[in-house]
Amino acid sequence: MNGAGFVVERAGVMTLIQDAGRIGHHRLGLTTGGPADPFAFDWANRLCGNEPGTTALEITVGGLVLSCERSTRVAICGADMPMSINGVVMDAWRSYHVNAGDRISVGYARSGVRAYLAVVGGLAILPILGSTSTVVREALGGLDGRKLEAGDLLPCGDSQEIDCLMVPAGYRPMYSKRVLLRVVVGYQYDAFDAAQRQRFFSAEYQVSKQCDRMGYRLEGPTLDCDLPEMLSEGISLGAIQVPPDGQPIILMCDRQTIGGYPKLGSVISVDLAQLAQLSPGGTVSFTAITAAEARQIRLSATRQFQQVVPEPC
């Protein structure tokens, strides 16, 4: 593909290239990566007519400015980041036609943390081990395994499509500063006595400043575990680790592949999108559900996404 699709004028706080994630390489010590909020990521791609998992941008906090070198269609979904094209403010959760010479500006989040910018056909980024997802800690994927910088070129194809699509208003999430996370307890759950389990599920925790794509460290009532030192073992997405200081950590898409802290269980994948949109100081509480309930919630969410028909603008 000749030329670029976009030139990065200003990269923002943390803008990363992401696709659906690098699946099947935990044996090499490589994590999955992928979008922290798959719901918003999938909608951005769908509004551009892309296949699920097509390469797009994950914009954390905001501050991104792009200049267009091709005529194409873009969509932005996720956190409430004011977007403008050539200085004209545009709504999120819909697609827009842009022309060569246009300038796209994404401001700083007013609610939520992460937004996704997709383009028709996706960004033409070379996959590494089957994925374009950027994991900065591993220096892998995207552009040299790093966040975007001013001057970067983001190739894409031309598209003369001008039809605009938008997500129906009733299906756009509202990002709150308080979320309830559903948890499937794990096999180490019994290593926490009844008083500790009660404390965890009845308490509220605050998101600390130590929160990123690797994990969300929480602050609140401390938890004790009767489990002696344990060998490191594989870690699932959403796992709730309890380190020696007793403050839970919820592991996210850039998590390490193994760990040696006891785990209460795992937050279900559907709810991790809400957590990924929560900034430091936000409030988290928990409720326990069964694995069967978690599967049904996942199936229902997938079915609803597939059944919602984007509306013409």
- The CA-based diameter of the chain, rounded to the nearest angstrom, is 63
Retrieve residue 57's tokens.
Answer: 């941008």
Q: Are 51 and 45 in contact (CB under 8 A)?
A: yes
pLDDT tens per residue across span 26-72? 999 999 999 999 999 999 999 999 999 999 999 999 999 999 999 99
pLDDT score, position 176:
92
pLDDT tens per residue across span 165-184? 999 999 999 999 999 999 99
In whole angstroms, give the CA distance from residue 8 to residue 105: 10
Q: What average pLDDT score do residues 256-277 get?
A: 96
pLDDT score, position 227:
80
Q: Are 255 and 217 in contact (CB under 8 A)?
A: no
Q: Are 104 and 65 in contact (CB under 8 A)?
A: yes
pLDDT tens per residue across span 223-240? 998 887 788 899 999 999
Question: Residue 142 above 60 pLDDT?
Answer: yes
CA 137 to chain centre: 16
pLDDT score, position 159:
83
Q: What average pLDDT score do residues 100-105 get?
A: 97
Q: What average pLDDT score do residues 137-154 get?
A: 97
pLDDT score, position 3:
59
pLDDT score, position 55:
98
Mean model confidence pLDDT for the chain: 95
Confidence of residue 206 (pLDDT cuts 50, 70, 90): very high
